[in-house]
Amino acid sequence: MSRISSMARLRVAAALEDERKRNLEQNGGPSISSLNRNCSNYGHGSPGGPRGRLPSVAKFLSARRRSKSHSRLLDSSFFLRIVAAFEKNSTCGRHCHHSHLDDGLCGRFMRRRLLGQHANNSLGRQDDPFDSYHLNGSSNAVIEDGNEADLYSLQMDMPIKVLNGSPGYINILDGLNAWQLVSELAEATGQPAAASFKHVSPAGAAIGFPLNDPEAQSLMVADLAIDPRRPSLASALARARGADRMSSFGDFIALSQKCDEITARLISREISDGVIAPDYDDQALSMLAKKKNGNYIILRIDPKNLPAEDEVRTIFGLKLKQKRNAAALSTESFTDVAVGDGGEITAETVDDLLVACVAVKYTQSDAVCFAYRGQVIGMGAGQQSRLNCTRLAGEKAANWWYAYNNAFRSAFIVFRTPYPCAF
């Protein structure tokens, strides 16, 4: 029996099934002797392989014939299709597909039931590793049976850790996309970067250009001890959230560097849902953990983590797979940019181009971006019409410019008029 190949068994089973159907049509069903006779005659010289009886196949078919539920246990018409598919090697893909599904189900069971948060590739809070933190698409953190969402890594270790709060589904999407933006922007410019994400698109992004007095006033950070002489993470965050403060209301913040105390102080007085950064100072972590009655989401991400080359997304039961957009921008990407009046492109203009292009890369289309002094000042996102997208981005840029110039004038000019003014 052990010498008979799987292919031979399939052929025998298919032949026996055909004979069973013919006997059922003629006299009501096959006999055990006819099954055994066919098995014993299936030997050398036949297409099936070596000589030998197949008592197990005959016994199985006979027992199946006597079972009232055999039609639900076995689809007899599938035998010949299996044989033909094996001969064409066309079932390899299906076999791998079902193996992949089985591995996913087994892995999910092991993570949730056996390992819990001891598994390094599952999301969990650092201070409470035995608690289960799933993801929920709604703002409610309640997880119902059969309607669960979770986050796990296909790699050995999970690159992010929950230091505080309970992230939701959209929080994770905002955090991961925002982190990619700031890490790429910091790599391209060599300066600290920050981003303000809302509904999976950046409301603002910036690098840490030093703030002058009008900018500090228009961004409402003049009372903070932000160094006006050198780039800083706090100035990058102030610029990022100052691009469109209305859209940044309840945003998710991303920082390219370790969060310091001044940056945490700036975050603590803003309306925000969470933050993601490579690390946090002790004072900064303590300050942020008190935000939102202790429910502020704080994520720490491994800056050395490199994702897989392919990205896979499941929609309506179908998996979409494509190469990850790993194209990196740098100052050399704009060497061929034409400048009007025969001028040359400046380093500040290159920084603005880098900010705008990297921000658009992680924005839902259609997307149009205005950038100035190392920050986004107008972002149009998710519009079906490019004209409306440009109009939206232009209106935001005009509002920013108006606020900036008002702050600039008030910093140097004192207006005195007996007449009230309305704007």
Decide if pLDDT at 322 tops 70: yes
280 backbone dihedrals φ, ψ, rounded to 5°: -140, 140
Decide if pLDDT at 171 tops 60: yes
Q: With bands split at pLDDT 50, 70 and 90, how would you rate the model's confidence at 262?
A: very high
> How far is the C-alpha of 423 from the C-alpha of 417, rounded, in Å?
15
Comparison of pLDDT for 338 and 390, the residue scoring more: 390
101 residue type, one letter: L
Decide if pLDDT at 300 tops 70: yes
**CB contact burial 100-129 (16+ within 10 A = b; e otherwise):** eeeeeeebeeebbeeeebebebbbbbeeee
Contact 224, 234 (CB under 8 A): yes
Which pLDDT does position 414 carry in this prediction?
A: 43
In three-state secondary structure terms, 174 is helix
The mean of the pLDDT values for the chain is: 76
> How far is the C-alpha of 392 from the C-alpha of 383, rounded, in Å?
9
User: Which of 50-59, 88-97, 157-166 has the largest mean confidence?
Assistant: 157-166
Domain for residue 98, yes or no? no
Contact 310, 324 (CB under 8 A): yes
Distance (Å) of CA 132 to CA 2, 148, 298, 338 = 48, 12, 16, 54
Which pLDDT does position 65 carry in this prediction?
A: 55
Q: With bands split at pLDDT 50, 70 and 90, how would you rate the model's confidence at 42?
A: very low
**CB contact burial 216-236 (16+ within 10 A = b; e otherwise):** bbbbbbeebebeeeebbbbbb
CA 403 to centroid of chain Cα atoms: 35
Domain for residue 138, yes or no? no
| DSSP per-residue codes, 306-360 | ---SEEEEEETTEEEEEE-------GGGGTT---GGG----HHHHHHHHHHHHHH
Contact 418, 393 (CB under 8 A): no
Q: Which of 285, 311, 283, 314 is nearest to 300 (CA)?
A: 285
Which pLDDT does position 218 carry in this prediction?
A: 86
Strand 375-380 and strand 368-372: the pairing is: antiparallel
Largest Cα–Cα distance of the chain, in whole Å? 116
> How far is the C-alpha of 79 from the C-alpha of 17, rounded, in Å?
8
Which pLDDT does position 206 carry in this prediction?
A: 96
Which pLDDT does position 139 carry in this prediction?
A: 40
Mean pLDDT in residue range 357-386: 93
Cβ neighbour number for residue 209 with a 10 Å cutoff: 22
What is this structure's pTM? 0.68
Comparison of pLDDT for 216 and 23, the residue scoring more: 216
Which pLDDT does position 410 carry in this prediction?
A: 56
Which pLDDT does position 395 carry in this prediction?
A: 94
Question: Which residues touch 51 (CB under 8 Å, ≥6 apart)?
Answer: 42, 43, 44
Decide if pLDDT at 102 tops 70: no
Distance (Å) of CA 311 to CA 134, 239, 317, 394 = 21, 31, 16, 33
Find the range with the poorest average confidence among 151-155, 226-230, 257-261, 381-385.
Answer: 151-155
* Both structure tokens of 149: 């969402």
Mean pLDDT in residue range 298-315: 90
Which pLDDT does position 149 carry in this prediction?
A: 60
Find the range with the poorest average confidence among 14-28, 238-252, 319-333.
Answer: 14-28
10 Å CB burial of residue 411 (0-12, 13-18, 19+) is: middle
**Looking at residue 267, which CATH number applies to its domain?**
3.40.140.20
Mean pLDDT in residue range 18-44: 53
Comparison of pLDDT for 63 and 156, the residue scoring more: 156
Decide if pLDDT at 162 tops 60: yes
Domain for residue 249, yes or no? yes
* Both structure tokens of 338: 């034409």
Contact 348, 341 (CB under 8 A): no
Decide if pLDDT at 371 tops 90: yes
Mean pLDDT in residue range 221-233: 90
Decide if pLDDT at 147 tops 50: no
Which pLDDT does position 34 carry in this prediction?
A: 47
CA angle 242, 209, 331 (to 5 degrees): 115
Which pLDDT does position 90 carry in this prediction?
A: 55
Domain for residue 164, yes or no? yes
Distance (Å) of CA 315 to CA 81, 106, 175, 318, 414 = 30, 21, 21, 5, 59
Which pLDDT does position 82 carry in this prediction?
A: 67
Mean pLDDT in residue range 251-272: 96
In three-state secondary structure terms, 395 is helix
For residue 268, the 8-state DSSP code is: H
φ/ψ bin of 206: left (φ > 0), alpha (ψ from -120 to 50), beta (otherwise)? beta
In three-state secondary structure terms, 80 is helix
Domain for residue 81, yes or no? no
Q: Which of 180, 162, 237 is nearest to 207 (CA)?
A: 237
Decide if pLDDT at 85 tops 80: no
- The sheet carrying 251-255 orders its strands as 160-164, 297-301, 272-277, 251-255, 193-198, 201-207, 375-380, 368-372
Which pLDDT does position 41 carry in this prediction?
A: 46
Could you tell me the residue range of the domain that residue 367 belongs to?
156-405
Mean pLDDT in residue range 299-326: 89
Mean pLDDT in residue range 37-49: 45
Decide if pLDDT at 118 tops 70: no
Domain for residue 225, yes or no? yes
> How far is the C-alpha of 369 from the C-alpha of 382, rounded, in Å?
12
Which pLDDT does position 215 carry in this prediction?
A: 87
How many separate domains does the chain show? Answer: 1
Domain for residue 102, yes or no? no
Which pLDDT does position 333 carry in this prediction?
A: 87
Decide if pLDDT at 344 tops 60: yes
Domain for residue 306, yes or no? yes
φ/ψ bin of 292: left (φ > 0), alpha (ψ from -120 to 50), beta (otherwise)? left
